[in-house]
Amino acid sequence: MFDTLLIANRGEIACRVIRTARRMGLRSVAVYSEADAEALHVALADEARLIGPAPAAESYLSIPAILEAARASGAQAVHPGYGFLAENAEFAEACGEAGLVFVGPPPGAIRAMGSKSEAKSLMEQAGVPLVPGYHSSSQDLAVLERAARVVGYPVLIKASAGGGGKGMRVVEQPMDFDTAVAAARREAAAAFGDDRVLLEKYLGRPRHIELQVFADGHGNALHLFERDCSIQRRHQKVLEEAPAPGLTPERRAEMGAAAVAAARAIGYVGAGTVEFLLERESFYFMEMNTRLQVEHPVTEMVTGLDLVEWQLRVAAGEPLPWDQEELELRGHAIEARIYAEDPARGFLPATGRLVYLRFPETGPDVRVDSGVCAGDTVSPHYDPMIAKLIVRGEDRQAAVRRLRVALAGVQALGVTTNIAFLAAVAAHPAYAAGEVDTGFIARHAMDLLPDAEPASDEVLGLASLAVLQQRRAEADAQARRSGDPYSPWHQTAGWRLNVETHSRLMFHDGDREVAVTVRYRPGGYQLVLPGGEVEARGRLEASGELLAELDGHRVRATVVRDGHELNVLTGPRAHRLVLHDPLTLGAAAEAGGGRLTAPMPGRVAEVHVKPGARVARGAPLLVLEAMKMEHTIAAPADGRVTEIHFGTGDLVEEGAELLALELEET
């Protein structure tokens, strides 16, 4: 066994590998970009090496920089994590040539499965069932158009060289095919350096089932059961579970045998995942990921195994520690991916500083894998994942219940997150019943993505209590610092000369302004809220936790203040209020009026219009690329383009005015 391991990745997977390495007595070496100098994985490792500036192409994707870090640190092995260079055959070869152990499959196996088109050809020769489609070598647009007509619409365009939903488009009708191919190619090239695509028949309501496989260098291969990854948005997984709901032992054995056969067919070594689409009684090979998956913790939870430890032992030449017959499932596990993203805006990735971050208590049945902590910044350069929450129960019903409770204990502020959305999925009756497929989110969107509601009286009461308690604490601190701590001018009991003892708090709640009248009472307050009067008292902890009592009802919440902004968290839901302070409120910049701004930092990938062009509501104006995904900026109404401020390839900051429209009056 080697004794020094370099992790050629970042974030939660780097932290996760470091923890197993430490438990095994291995020395860990982290690599980091300039943007990640204060990252958690850097702090956890025994040693860390700077490998370049923030852009991934100049740091985490730089093979020379990573190999130099390995040489300088004395590392003998490299773990690629997932993403970045994890499925790059050239990187695996370069590690071998440098005398380093690559903790992953042989380069030949990576190449065999690296191209989805070639992988499907191999599986077709091996007799594994495939989704009807086109996976030949020609990328001529006319050839692809003819193939799409043969396959039949709707058709799915997929990047040949990668996964994660990048370079993927569903096309409902022929007239949209050319535009979708161009967009898929751009996104694939940006994410994988390869713009080739393939086509598949788009299945109506399939389930996404994947098999975890493992093989060693001694001819042994097995599977560690399946995971259901059907809950997806933008073709990317959101919740995963093991085992798959309703899968019979016979079907499990059949799919497991097919997955192991696929691994053996390419001389596989290490951890891999064979992915299938399951619709009714038929399953189809989709792809093989030649790396550890993001969702591997659910397999660990139901088997009691450490898959990273297996990876390291197999890479060191050891045989698999167990046989297929020795493996068994123990209960049910679910993983929820917590992202900085806005579900209400098409799951648009979000950036910013994590002002506050709290996870539930962990234990044998609750696990949190994260690569960030409070105060860190979610950067536009990398994947916006905040953490993975993994729970286990004796059966699926118990696991779903535990997931709901655990999600209520996750709180994050400073960036928009999908926490409330995940809680809505976990609470949905159809999810509890196991009625899952890849169309689940779209089908239940009205339930999962409700319109924003105004702040309730309870939220307004909690915010008011937090402000009042903070003011009391500040007054007490000032009194202790003064020469006369008993001066009445330090009191916060609402005393006024010849005036009723009350004050007023003004909050902005979205577009509305709400007034809360505060009447001071011994030991507490009477709050006049929009819904009526409430007797209130509470205690605000330094952590932001508020222990409140509203008309005898005790409430525990978290209130985090950032300037004039108050975020009230009750369970997984956060409500943002702005405390009105006339002394500091400036004139707001005029919004709307045809100004279209960047929703996040990114690069302009394509401009569809020119100054003077007339456009209809919903027409695509330009495409913004951020976090390796493309986001189309569309016209909010009919109008005429008057100005375009950026061109293709330009970098833009969040809030930058992209173009101006002269809107038609309605």
Q: Which residues carry out catalysis?
A: 291
Q: Is 93 exposed, middle or buried (0-12, 13-18, 19+ CB in 10 A)?
A: middle
The 3 state secondary structure assigned to 278-347 is EECCEEEEEEEECCCCCCHHHHHHHHCCCHHHHHHHHHCCCCCCCCHHHCCCCCEEEEEEEECEEHHHCC
Nearest residue to 516 via CA among 568, 453, 576, 460: 460
Contact 84, 11 (CB under 8 A): no
Contact 649, 604 (CB under 8 A): yes
What angle in degrees, to the nearest 10, is found between the helix axes of 307-315 and 296-303?
Answer: 100
What's CA 223's distance to the chain center, in Å?
27
Q: Other C-beta atoms within 10 Å of 482: how many?
A: 12
Would you state the structure tokens that stand for residue 545, as one six-digit string? 């936790």
Would you state the structure tokens that stand for residue 96, as one six-digit string? 């071998």
What's CA 523's distance to the chain center, in Å?
44
Q: Other C-beta atoms within 10 Å of 532: how many?
A: 9
Nearest residue to 97 via CA among 57, 72, 63: 63
Contact 462, 557 (CB under 8 A): yes
Residues in the chain: 666
Nearest residue to 600 via CA among 645, 656, 654: 654
Phi-psi map region of 66: left, alpha, beta (phi>0 left; psi -120 to 50 alpha): alpha
Return d(Cα 444, Cα 436) in angstroms, integer.
Answer: 11
Q: Is 55 exposed, middle or buried (0-12, 13-18, 19+ CB in 10 A)?
A: middle
Q: Which amino acid is at 440?
A: F
Contact 134, 171 (CB under 8 A): no
Q: Other C-beta atoms within 10 Å of 142: how many?
A: 8
Q: Is 72 exposed, middle or buried (0-12, 13-18, 19+ CB in 10 A)?
A: exposed
